[in-house]
Amino acid sequence: MLDHILSILIFFPALAGVFGFMIQKDGMRAYGVSVAAIEFALSLWLWYAFDGSVSGMQFMESLPLVPSFGINYTLGVDGISLFIIVLAAFFTLLGIGSLTDTANVKYMIITLLFLQMTMVGVFAALDAIVFYVFWELSLVPMVYIIGAWGGPLRIYASIKFFLYTFTGSLVMLVGMLFMAYFYYQATGVWSFGLLDWYRLVLPENLQLWLFAAFFIGFAIKVPMFPFHTWLPYAHGQAPTIGSVILAAILLKMGTYAFVRFSLPLFPDASAFFMIPIAILAIIMVIYTAMVAYAQKDIKQVIAYSSISHMGIIILGTFALNVEGVTGSIFLMLGHGVVAGALFLLVGVIYDRRHTKMMSEFGGLAHVMPKYATIFAIMMMASVGMPLTINFVGEFLSLLGFYQQSHILTLLAGIGIIVGAIYMLAAYKKVFFGEVTNEKNENLPDVNKKELFALVPLVIVAIWLGVYPKPVLDPINNSVKSIIQLMHNKSITELGQERIPDLVKVKEIVIQETTIEEVR
């Protein structure tokens, strides 16, 4: 079973979703929770069985899909993807478990299960086309969740979300086809296998073009400035669960793809574009933080804060050294936990008041102390308080990028200031002061169902802030192999200069698993 654990992880929820159509409405929630729990348990088993000291891919599976065109159903995890998969399973469980009574709960749960399939698929795929399949497929359930259960502008938001990301990924698809073609030219064999592509060294100008093609797809997904405007709408209109999954997992697809595709495939282009992308990332960090400050809607604040944090992740990714990349991957997890929790928290008051405008609230700390406490913890995690999960990621990302550019890191660091500004301001507006609106006077505090989702997140946020080692080590190992691969592949001076040579500095063992070995 362990040999096919990834396939099971991917298709079990989908299958369960199909069977879900047969379940009566009353039992649906229990069914959803149990399926998600099994999935989560499986993902934990995956983690347990994962050998953190190995840098290469594990649990690889390969099945020919369109062998004549080089498309194979290849899966595998390494330290980079493992934890995001676990996180995806975790959040689906929390999401279903804390689902409030909306219309059509049955369809919602089925949709979430399908979404889970696509999420796990994206992170487990080692074939560009399989990756692309899940990548695109993840749009559908999300669009449905936003469009069917969202706010007044839901249709606009969902269409915008779909078209924007769809456009970007189509450009990326063209890039992938080029990549496969170059592989074909070099070897005479078609292949979309990522591990095959890793061995391909491309001339610099091709790298630049392909990098740009992939970049558009990834940047829209992340979303990077100036491609970010779909996100506030999507978050603003999506129901709580939609925002949670979107922020926690779906956005990570973009940044994950940068690490998985852009860096190792185009090391020289990555080095070449490092500074421009870093500048974009800094704009994301500061500009969107300022925009977040101007928001009137608490959910929009968190939506923009997501963009801001994604900026740091991008920055860490393009530090092109072990510290930065590891940090950015860890920050993906961190931001997933924290932003997910914050969206859940916003959902709590939205359920009670059906508004998200901050002006409607004030003084909530009096009536909902537990809620205020959890919110405060998560807010502090969000602003990167040490000993919370986000700090580790942000610290490492910035630390990593500092090696590349001092001044840019300094600018990006402003993010920790402006981040605090909008978060504290929002918190103050909602929680502090006297209770001014009488509708708020008798709001019930968080209930058990909500605690079921929030408490684990608080625990994770602090646990991984204090003791990130079990997660950081496997990530570190995998990142090392990627950085070394990049260094070995880079052909320009710039690349050689910007990407550190780990072998020279310290002995590390790079393991390369290839598809052939698995077959």
Partner 1 sequence: MEKYLYIALFAPLVSSLFSALFTATPKKMFTGIVASLLIFSSLVSSFVLLMYILDGGEPVHVEMMTWMATGHLYIPFGFIVDQVSVTMMMVVTLVSTIVHIYSIGYMDHDKGFNRFFSWLSAFVFSMMVLVMSDNYAGLFIGWEGVGLCSWGLIGFWFHKEVATWAANEAFIMNRIADLGMLIGIFLVYWNTGTLQYDGAFAAFSTLDTATLTWIGIFLFIGAMGKSAQFPLHTWLADAMEGPTPVSALIHAATMVTAGVYLVVRSGELYDLIPNVGLFIASLGAFVALFAASMALVNRDMKRIIAYSTLSQLGYMFAAAGLGAYWVALFHLMAHAFFKALLFLGAGNVMHAMHDELDPFKMGGLKKVMRWTWIMMTIASLALAGIFPFAGFFSKDTILEAAFAEHHFVIYGVLLFTAGLTAFYSFRLVALIFHGEERYKIFGIHPHEAYRFMLIAMSPLLILAMIAGVFQVPFFEMVEEILNAHEYHIHSHTTLLIMLVGTQVFVALAILYAYKKYASWSSVPDGTSAIENSFVYKLLYNQYYIPYFYEEYIVKSYKEMSEVFWTKVDMKIVDATVDGIAGIIYGTGEKTRDMQSGNLSTMLKWMVAGLVGLLSLAVVFGLAARYSDEILSILSALGV
Partner 2 sequence: MLAPINISMESLNVLTLTPMLIPVVGALLILVLDVIKGGLHKSLYVVLSLLFLAMDFFSVVDSAGIFAQNGTVLGMFDVMLIDGLAILAQFIIVLASMLFIPLSLTHKRFHEFSYPEFYALFLFMISGFQFMVATDNIILIFVGLETSSLALYTLIAMHNRDKSFEAAVKYFTMGALAAGFFSFGAMVFYALTGSVEINKIALVLAANGYADIGYVLVGVAFMLGAFAFKLSLIPFHTWAPDIYEGSSASMAGYMSIVPKIAAFIVAMRFFEFLVHSGIVWLEVVLYAFVVLTMTASNMWALVQTDVKRMLAYSSISHAGFVMAAILIGTTQANSALFLYWVLFTFTNLGSFSMLWISRQKNLPAHQMSDHSYDKFAGMIKTAPVAALIMGLFMLSLAGLPPFALFWGKLYLISSAVTSGYTVLALIMALNSAIAGYYYLKLIVYMFMKEPVMGNDGHMYVANATLALKTIIGIAAIGTIFAFVAINPLLEFITAFVYNSGY
For residues 463 and 213, give the distance between their C-alpha atoms in angstroms, rounded to a whole number: 38
Q: Which stretches of 67-138 are DSSP H helices?
A: 79-97, 105-124, 128-137
Binding of partner 2 at residue 68 (CB under 8 A)?
A: yes
Does 155 participate in binding partner 1 (rule CB under 8 A)? no
Judged by CB under 8 A, does residue 399 bind partner 1? yes
**Long-range own/partner contacts, residues 53-58 (CB < 8 A, 24 or more apart):** 53/473, 53/477, 54/477, 54/511, 55/79, 55/477, 55/478, 55/480, 55/481, 55/508, 55/509, 55/510, 55/511, 56/478, 56/481, 56/511, 56/512, 56/513, 57/126, 57/195, 57/513
Both tokens of residue 209? 């073009």
> In degrees, to the nearest 5, what angle opens at C-alpha 44 toward C-alphas 43 and 48?
120
- Which partner, partner 1, partner 2, none, binds residue 139 by CB below 5 to 8 Å per kind? partner 2
451 is in the binding site of which of partner 2, partner 1, none (Cβ under 5 to 8 A by kind)?
Answer: none
Among 12, 31, 40, 162, binds partner 2 (CB under 8 A): 162
Binding to partner 1, residues 432-451 (CB under 8 A): 432-434
Nearest approach, Cβ of residue 284 and partner 2 (Å): 24
Q: Looking at 236-244, 353-361, 413-421, 491-499, which segment touches partner 1 (CB under 8 A)?
A: 413-421
Q: Which of 66, 294, 417, 509 is the binder for partner 2 (CB under 8 A)?
A: 66
- The yes or no reply on residue 386 touching partner 1 (CB under 8 A) is yes
* Binding partner of 409, given partner 1, partner 2, none, CB within 5-8 angstroms per partner class: partner 1
CA distance 54 to 71: 26
User: According to the binding rule CB under 8 A, does residue 276 interact with partner 1?
Assistant: no
Contacts of 184 (CB under 8 A, 6+ apart): 70, 190, 191
79 lines the binding site for partner 2 (CB under 8 A): no
Residue closer to partner 1 by CB (options 256, 395) is 395
Residues 6 or more apart from 328 whose CB is under 8 A from it? Answer: 255, 259, 312, 313, 314, 315, 316, 317, 319, 393, 396, 397, 400
- Contact between 79 and partner 1 by CB under 8 A: the answer reads no
Site string for partner 1, 38-77 (x = CB under 8 A): ----------------------------------------
Spatial CB neighbours of 241, under 8 Å, sequence gap ≥ 6: 95, 98, 99, 108, 112, 145, 347
Q: How far is the CB of 242 from partner 2 (least distance, A)?
A: 13
Q: Which stretch binds partner 1 (CB under 8 A): 100-108, 159-167, 348-356, 485-493?
A: 159-167
SS3 of the chain: helix, strand, coil, percent, to 5: 75, 5, 20
**Residue 473 touching partner 1 (CB under 8 A):** yes
Q: Which does 410 bind (CB under 5 to 8 A by kind): partner 1, partner 2, none?
A: partner 1
Binding site for partner 2 (CB under 8 A): 64-69, 107, 129, 132-133, 136-137, 139-140, 143-144, 147-148, 154-155, 158-159, 162-163, 166-167, 170-171, 173-174, 177-178, 180-181, 184
